[in-house]
Structure 1
Amino acid sequence: MSRPDQADLPGRTPAWRYAIGMFGTSIPINMIKGSMILYYVDILGLDVRAYGAVMVIYAIIDALDNPLLGHLSDRTRTRYGRRRPWLLVGAPMLAACMIAFFSAPASLEGVGLLVWFAVFAILCEAFDSMLNANYGALLPELYPRERDRAVANGLRQGFQLVALVISLALTPLLTTQVFGTEETTQGFQITAIIYGAVALAVIVFMALGARERPRYSTRERPRLLPSVWSIVSNRLFWTVGLTGSCYGGAMALVLAGIQLYVRYSLGLPVVNALYLQAVVILFSVAGLAVWTRVVARHGALRAWRLSFAVLAVSFAALFFATDLVTALAAGVLVGAGWSGMLATNDLIVARVLDADAARNGEHREGLFLSAFGFFGRLNGIVTGLALTSLGVFFGYNSGDDPGADPGLAFRVYLCAYPFVLAAIGAVAARIISVPAEPPPEAAQTAEPPAEPVEDPR
């Protein structure tokens, strides 16, 4: 029989079981982000300007509801913990909304199609936020030491990349070849049902095995407005959050546009996106082991800075690709830079959470990560405005009205815009300060240093 305090011991939850949850959370949202333009704009004919407007509105709504979801999680007190109940509720709701998102009735058009798209896009993102705020909050709680976090984070990012192979690289094959065609929508619905069932099973398995730390939830429940003010007045929240959003925005553009980049810029059938995505993801998986060793030797901050630079260079190489072979070569660089960001970005954020817990004496990972999610929600605005700009500058409005040069349009969308964002992030990462890694017990103390100490690594 286990001791009562065993659940509070570090490493009680096996890293692989926590990490596999990333597989389940990644499959639905990445199918949505990777196929929504192809499904709604290019196949169903939704006007790109209406799409862009919805993306801006939904990003604003999602940015507002994220802190509320995280705060509710921090205040939750049940015998099952703070995070697990939300994971068990959010998983089936996300699966159901994803299936509905890719099941738009054939009779819908115009305003009806726009409303269907807007409602289920917002619901999918809301339930995805619910899942990720709670799942992400478990990382610093379950693994207080940065070395342990690096291992758990490396494993979960590996599972995420496996999910991406399925939800991004394999999806074009399933939707346009196995279950449907490039001109029909049936394949999207069948694929969404399969992915939803898999995601639900994996998230439930992970949530039931997570062992939360009782002492994290026995203190006084944090209040919303004072907590929000404490976070938004924290300099680290803005500097780290905005810098990380450069990476997030760049990859959001890539994930949303890669299928149309293959179709228009490379002049190939959409199914060839499978090969480009597979190369990027497979080299990202291989790179995780390398970047985890770099973190162990040189620290998360130095590795984070280097990753930004590699990512920016990779987008420049992708811009000049002229066929599948040269695109695959550039994809190797994209995978190298992406894996570095996957291995390091969450570790930098976790340091900020540690510093906040030390400063305020409260563990508010749910609210803090949801507040950081505000910057991630800017991705919706970025992708919406970037896509709208293609109509302004290149005349691409939809699959029915692609303009004179859709190839250049999606070369700019997929390569030039991400390069600018990654380059800005690389410069910012070099000049901002990040808290040094604290010892695990530091997160339990209420008296922090007056200012965060710059990490020399």
Structure 2
Amino acid sequence: MSQPDTATARTPAWRYAIGMFGTSIPINMIKGSMILFYVEILGLDVRAYGVVMVIYAVIDAADNPLLGHLSDRGRSRFGRRRPWLVAGAPMLAACMIAFFSAPDSLHGAGLVLWFAVFAILCEAFDSMLNANYGALLPELYPRERDRAVANGLRQGFQLVALVISLAVTPLLTTQVFGTERTTEGFRTTAIIYGVIAVAVIVFMAIGARENPRHATRERSRLLPSLWSILRNPMFWTVGLTGACYGIAMALVLSGVQLYVRHSLGLPVGNALYLQGVVIAVSAGGLVLWTRIAARRGALWTWRLAFAVLPAGFVALFLAGDLITAIAAGILLGVGWSGMLATNDLIVARVLDADAARNGAHREGLFLSAFGFFGRLNGIVTGLALTSLGVFFGYNSGDDPGAAPGFAFRVYLCGYPFVLSVIGAVAARFVRVPLEPAAAAAVGSRSDAEPGR
């Protein structure tokens, strides 16, 4: 009987999973509040916002593979991933605080430059953290059943972080520490979140026990490894299909506060109730979806969740007040929790197959290459916001146009609906390998029974 992997045995799932809480708080505050902070309050023009988001997405797509490759090649007595996590956490926290500390006196090019510099730095350090944190999942938990449990736990911690960084943030920034039209509350909240994030990430990294065997293989070279990944059909099918879900939810997270303000006609603080319900339903749904994935497999469950997701956007588009929006949010939360429970499991299958085929564990580079599709979030959200100026006249908080309410219904519901439908259809055609244990079992039966 094979012995359990030492890394898995020494790393409790909860200890690894709690890291998701720390990595999620900073970036979700940034993505959830950047439009409100820069466009609505400071008056940054949506066209400038769109240009910056495209530029920073291109830069981030380029630096992601390099960061992942450096992680894979890392060799130290502390492991390959942990040094990056310990160093990256305070860097991200510092940049987040600076991002929400833009002086009120900044206007025009100065405001655009401040926004661009710190948006790019925040995304770069977030990529550094998530490439290394995500690479630990298939390494620490090689069996899909264990992996599903660890992933379910970490997505649960992510939802707790989302309650804080998305649902509670509007209350803290606009009522507790500031007002609807001032910026002081954002800076204070960013400082608090930064301290929490650093403490949690360092705690997780210290407790993670990497598998030393993964660091004994020959160090791969960047360009040949990257070319090998780009030639892998699963990289494109899984990456592009998953991007449909990722971009749809990025639009929701970035636009919900202005949806509440303009589409529902309520103070931004009421986003607490809408986001809180969506996240609470998603947290509860994780338990069910994780059980379904363990019983029916990740791919089948992923396809089902993708089919459920678009219905939530339709209901949210039709909502006319906070009560009906919350009811729609319940439906959206069901589909979202299914995607949270399964999407990373599909990606992990691709990583397993790559390691088996090439004899090298380059999860950092592979996940960073997958990060290219995540960087599409920035491009699409920037273009989507810019389109509100073109089609509906919404240019900024100072120049909202004649129909900002309908504009943000389209932004929050219309665009995500189209993307999620495309993803649901594409998911039906995606094929991924069996998990390693299942593949080995199939191979053994084939050897014993060549006639089958």
Report TM bin, short chain.
Answer: over 0.9
The amino acid of 1:327's aligned partner reads A
Deviations 1:78-116 (A, max 9, x none): 000000000011000000000000000122111001000
Do 1:24 and 1:202's aligned partners in 2 also have CA atoms closer than 8 Å?
yes
Q: Is 1:201 aligned to residue 205 of structure 2?
A: no
Q: 1:392 to 1:9 in 2, by over 3 A?
A: closer
Q: Is 1:386 aligned to residue 389 of structure 2?
A: no
Do 1:316 and 1:415's aligned partners in 2 also have CA atoms closer than 8 Å?
yes
Do 1:23 and 1:202's aligned partners in 2 also have CA atoms closer than 8 Å?
yes
- TM (norm. structure 1) is 0.95
Q: Which residue of 1 aligns with 2:443?
A: none
Deviation, structure 1 residue 9: 4.6
SS at structure 2 position matched to 1:181: coil
Deviation, structure 1 residue 373: 0.4
The amino acid of 1:301's aligned partner reads L
Q: Is 1:225 aligned to residue 228 of structure 2?
A: no
Q: Is 1:137 aligned to residue 135 of structure 2?
A: yes
SS at structure 2 position matched to 1:402: coil
Most deviating of 308-317 and 174-183: 308-317
Can you give the 5+ residue segments of structure 1 that lack an aligned partner in the other structure?
Answer: 443-448, 450-457
Distance in structure 2 (CA, Å) of the matches to 1:137 and 1:432: 22
Deviations 1:288-342 (A, max 9, x none): 0000110011110111001111111111111100000100000001110110000
- TM (norm. structure 2) is 0.96
Do 1:145 and 1:440's aligned partners in 2 also have CA atoms closer than 8 Å?
no
Do 1:165 and 1:277's aligned partners in 2 also have CA atoms closer than 8 Å?
yes
Distance in structure 1 (CA, Å) of the matches to 2:86 and 2:382: 31
1:433 to 428, 431, 434: 431
Q: Is 1:249 aligned to residue 247 of structure 2?
A: yes
Q: Which residue of 2 aligns with 1:328?
A: 326
Q: 1:12 to 1:146 in 2, by over 3 A?
A: same
Q: 1:95 to 1:9 in 2, by over 3 A?
A: closer
Instruction: Write the mapping of 1:289-368 to structure 2, written as runs, cut at 5 A.
Output: 289-368=287-366
Deviation, structure 1 residue 203: 0.2
Q: 1:210 to 1:264 in 2, by over 3 A?
A: same
Deviation, structure 1 residue 10: 2.9
Q: Which residue of 2 aligns with 1:71?
A: 69
The amino acid of 1:366's aligned partner reads G
Instruction: Write the mapping of 1:387-426 to structure 2, written as runs, cut at 5 A.
Output: 387-426=385-424
Q: Is 1:35 aligned to residue 33 of structure 2?
A: yes
Can you give the 5+ residue segments of structure 2 that lack an aligned partner in the other structure?
Answer: 441-445, 447-452
Deviation, structure 1 residue 440: 8.5
SS at structure 2 position matched to 1:10: helix
Do 2:306 and 2:424's aligned partners in 1 also have CA atoms closer than 8 Å?
yes
Q: Which residue of 2 aligns with 1:214?
A: 212
The amino acid of 2:71's aligned partner reads S
Q: Which residue of 1 aligns with 2:51?
A: 53
The amino acid of 1:77's aligned partner reads R
Q: Which residue of 1 aligns with 2:372?
A: 374
Over the aligned positions, Cα root-mean-square deviation in angstroms equals 1.4
Do 2:312 and 2:329's aligned partners in 1 also have CA atoms closer than 8 Å?
yes
Distance in structure 1 (CA, Å) of the matches to 2:94 and 2:119: 12
Distance in structure 2 (CA, Å) of the matches to 1:359 and 1:333: 40
Do 2:7 and 2:209's aligned partners in 1 also have CA atoms closer than 8 Å?
no
Do 1:84 and 1:207's aligned partners in 2 also have CA atoms closer than 8 Å?
yes
Deviation, structure 1 residue 194: 0.1
Q: Is 1:268 aligned to residue 296 of structure 2?
A: no
The amino acid of 1:214's aligned partner reads P
Deviation, structure 1 residue 434: 1.5
Q: Which residue of 1 aligns with 2:84?
A: 86
Deviation, structure 1 residue 8: 3.0
SS at structure 2 position matched to 1:434: coil
Do 2:346 and 2:432's aligned partners in 1 also have CA atoms closer than 8 Å?
yes
Deviation, structure 1 residue 441: 9.5
Distance in structure 1 (CA, Å) of the matches to 2:287 and 2:439: 28
SS at structure 2 position matched to 1:222: coil
Do 2:302 and 2:342's aligned partners in 1 also have CA atoms closer than 8 Å?
yes
SS at structure 1 position matched to 2:106: coil
Deviations 1:364-387 (A, max 9, x none): 000000000000000000100000
The amino acid of 1:164's aligned partner reads L
Most deviating of 427-436 and 147-156: 427-436
Distance in structure 2 (CA, Å) of the matches to 1:44 and 1:231: 42
Q: Which residue of 1 aligns with 2:450?
A: none
Q: Which residue of 2 aligns with 1:453?
A: none
Q: Which residue of 2 aligns with 1:454?
A: none
SS at structure 1 position matched to 2:304: helix
| Percent of aligned pairs sharing the same letter | 81
Q: 1:70 to 1:168 in 2, by over 3 A?
A: same
Deviation, structure 1 residue 433: 1.3
Distance in structure 1 (CA, Å) of the matches to 2:316 and 2:5: 48
Deviation, structure 1 residue 11: 3.1
Do 1:7 and 1:212's aligned partners in 2 also have CA atoms closer than 8 Å?
no
Q: Which residue of 2 aligns with 1:123?
A: 121
